[in-house]
Amino acid sequence: MIKHHPTPETLLAHAAGTLPAGHALVVAAHVQGCAACQVELARLEALGGALLEELAPEALAPEAFAETLARLDSPAPITVRQMPRQADLALPEGLRLPAALRGAEIGRWLWVGRGVRYSRVRLPWAPGGNVMLMRIAPNRRVLAHSHGGAEFTQVLHGTFTDATGQYGPGDMAEADSDLAHQPRADGDGCICLAALEGGMRLPWLSRLVGGHA
């Protein structure tokens, strides 16, 4: 049972195509597994269609139609897609990565702290995004951090808990830039897909080096 969904304004931005690519990927991964959000997204896209109908038309150049007509018979360009490199992540039995990750390059697990591993996800169509898979061992915590921008997290396996609640498989968490949190995996450990804008901030580190958090 999915308890945590994207906020309405996030789904609206997804329908409008204004989310950053990394966030859009996490929302797409959530929607693929969530019937309620599929319905909501269909509704919002219908809203987009209704708004499109209402726009004051802007005339095209007189020759635009003839130009398009002349191109109708040209074959659609074939885009050759290279199979992205996806490392074998040795996922738990029965767990498959969301279909939204099909075109993404996925790096191998890297150790980033006790019980915490990280795999870089690179989107060829948005290489600058900060997207990752996280694997947290049972009862381990991620370093306390806040974000330069919002962080979206989709739980793929297990559960994690932070100050805002407990998130299980299929749940999506939205952490604003003002939320400083320290997610902790529960008994099964946790694997999740996360995208963040503006990088991670480590207040304790800046305190340590004498700055102010």
Partner 1 sequence: MAAREASALGLRFVIHIQNTKWRGWWIARLIHFAAPRVCWYMNAPDAPFPPPASRGASVSPVSALDSPALDAEAQAVLIARVAARDRQAFAALFKHFAPRVKAYLRRAGMEASEAEEVAQEVMLLVWRKAESFDAARGAASTWVFAIARNARLDHARRRANLPPAPPEDEDSLAPCAETLTLTAERAARLRGALGALSPDQQQIVKLSFFAETPHAAIASALNLPLGTVKSRIRLGLARLRALLEDGV
Contact residues for partner 1, defined by CB under 8 A: 7-9, 12-13, 15-21, 28, 32, 35, 38-39, 42-61, 64-65, 67-69, 71-72, 76, 79, 81, 99, 102-103, 123-127
Are the C-beta atoms of 48 and 16 separated by less than 8 Å? yes
Distance CA 159, CA 162 (A): 10
User: Closer to partner 1 at the Cβ: 123 or 193?
Assistant: 123
Pairing of strands 116-123, 110-113: antiparallel
Which amino acid is it at 104? A
Alpha-carbon distance of 147 to 54, in angstroms, equals 38
Using the Cα atoms of residue 39, residue 41, residue 44 and residue 50 in order, give the sign of their dihedral.
negative
In the complex with partner 1, which residue's Cβ is closer, 15 or 196?
A: 15
Q: How far is the CB of 47 from partner 1 (least distance, A)?
A: 6
Minimum distance between the CB of residue 127 and partner 1, rounded to whole angstroms?
7
Name the minimum Å distance from CB 110 to partner 1. 25
CB of 203 to partner 1, least distance (A): 22
Pick the closer one to partner 1 by CB: 62 or 210. Answer: 62
The helix/strand/coil state of 126 is strand
